[in-house]
Amino acid sequence: MKTSAFVLGALAVLVTNCAGQRDTALPSNLQNGARWPHGPFRTSGRDIVNALGETVTWAGVNWPLSGESMVPEGLEWLSANEILSKVSSVGFNFIRMGYAIQMIDEIYDHGGIDVTLEASLVSALGATNGTRVATAIVANNLALGWTLDTPRFKIFSDITRLAARRGIFIHPDAHVSKAQWCCSHTDGDAWFGDTNFQTRNWTRALTYVANWAKNQTNVVSMSLRNEPRESWTVPTLNYNWHTFVGNMTAGANAVHAANPDLLITWSGMQFGEDLSALTSRKNLLTAACYKCTAIRDAHRRDPVYFSLSNQTWADKVVWELHLYPTSEDLDTGNCRMIEAGLYRNGFNALGIQPPAACNATLDCPAAPRLTPVILSEFGHQQDATLDTDIVQNCLKEYTKRYSVSWSMWSLAGSYRVREGVQGFGDAWGLTNYNWTGWQYPSGVESHWRPWVEAMNVTKLG
The residue range among 62-70, 166-174, 379-387, 430-438 that interacts with ligand NAG, by the rule CB under 6 A, is 430-438
Identity of the residue, 89 or 215, whose beta carbon is nearer to ligand NAG in the bound complex: 215
Cα–Cα distance for residue pair 265/271, rounded to 1 Å: 14
- Cβ neighbors of 6 (< 8 A, separation 6 or more) are 182, 183, 324, 326, 377, 379, 409, 428
The residue range among 67-75, 116-124, 235-243, 380-388 that interacts with ligand NAG, by the rule CB under 6 A, is 235-243
109: contact with ligand NAG by CB under 6 A: yes
For the chain, count helices (H), then strands (E). 14, 13
368: contact with ligand NAG by CB under 6 A: no
105: contact with ligand NAG by CB under 6 A: yes
Under 8 Å between Cβ of 369 and 379: no
- What residues from 331 to 360 belong to the interface with ligand NAG (CB under 6 A)? 356, 359-360
Identity of the residue, 46 or 326, whose beta carbon is nearer to ligand NAG in the bound complex: 46
Under 8 Å between Cβ of 96 and 376: yes
Strand partners, 265: 223, 318
Q: How many residues bind ligand NAG (CB under 6 A)?
A: 34
Cα–Cα distance for residue pair 94/167, rounded to 1 Å: 9
Cα–Cα distance for residue pair 62/382, rounded to 1 Å: 15
Identity of the residue, 136 or 326, whose beta carbon is nearer to ligand NAG in the bound complex: 136
C-alpha atoms less than 13 angstroms from C-alpha of 324 in its C-beta half-sphere: 26
310: contact with ligand NAG by CB under 6 A: yes
Distance of CA 368 to the CA centre of its chain: 25
Distance of CA 222 to the CA centre of its chain: 8
- What residues from 153 to 192 belong to the interface with ligand NAG (CB under 6 A)? 177, 192
- Cβ neighbors of 447 (< 8 A, separation 6 or more) are 386, 387, 392, 396
Q: What mask, x for binding ligand NAG by CB under 6 A, covers residues 249 to 278?
A: -x----------------------------
Distance of CA 82 to the CA centre of its chain: 22
Identity of the residue, 7 or 455, whose beta carbon is nearer to ligand NAG in the bound complex: 455
- What residues from 188 to 207 belong to the interface with ligand NAG (CB under 6 A)? 192-193, 196, 198, 201
* SS3 call for 351: coil
Q: How far is the CB of 172 from ligand NAG (least distance, A)?
A: 14
- What residues from 1 to 60 belong to the interface with ligand NAG (CB under 6 A)? none
Identity of the residue, 123 or 201, whose beta carbon is nearer to ligand NAG in the bound complex: 201
The residue at minimum Cβ distance from ligand NAG is 246
The residue range among 65-73, 219-227, 371-379, 449-457 that interacts with ligand NAG, by the rule CB under 6 A, is 449-457
361: contact with ligand NAG by CB under 6 A: no
The residue range among 46-54, 105-113, 219-227, 388-396 that interacts with ligand NAG, by the rule CB under 6 A, is 105-113
425: contact with ligand NAG by CB under 6 A: no
CA distances from 411 to 82, 96, 185, 229, 299 (A): 13, 10, 24, 24, 47
CA distances from 413 to 60, 89, 114, 186 (A): 16, 17, 28, 25
Cα–Cα distance for residue pair 121/105, rounded to 1 Å: 17
The residue range among 60-68, 134-142, 219-227, 236-244 that interacts with ligand NAG, by the rule CB under 6 A, is 236-244
Of 32, 34, 108, 328, the one binding ligand NAG (CB under 6 A) is: 108
Identity of the residue, 132 or 325, whose beta carbon is nearer to ligand NAG in the bound complex: 132
- What residues from 114 to 133 belong to the interface with ligand NAG (CB under 6 A)? 126, 129
* SS3 call for 199: helix
Cα–Cα distance for residue pair 431/48, rounded to 1 Å: 29
List of residues contacting ligand NAG (CB under 6 A): 105, 108-109, 126, 129, 177, 192-193, 196, 198, 201, 215, 237-238, 243, 246-247, 250, 305, 307, 310, 356, 359-360, 400, 403, 422-423, 432, 434, 436, 454-456
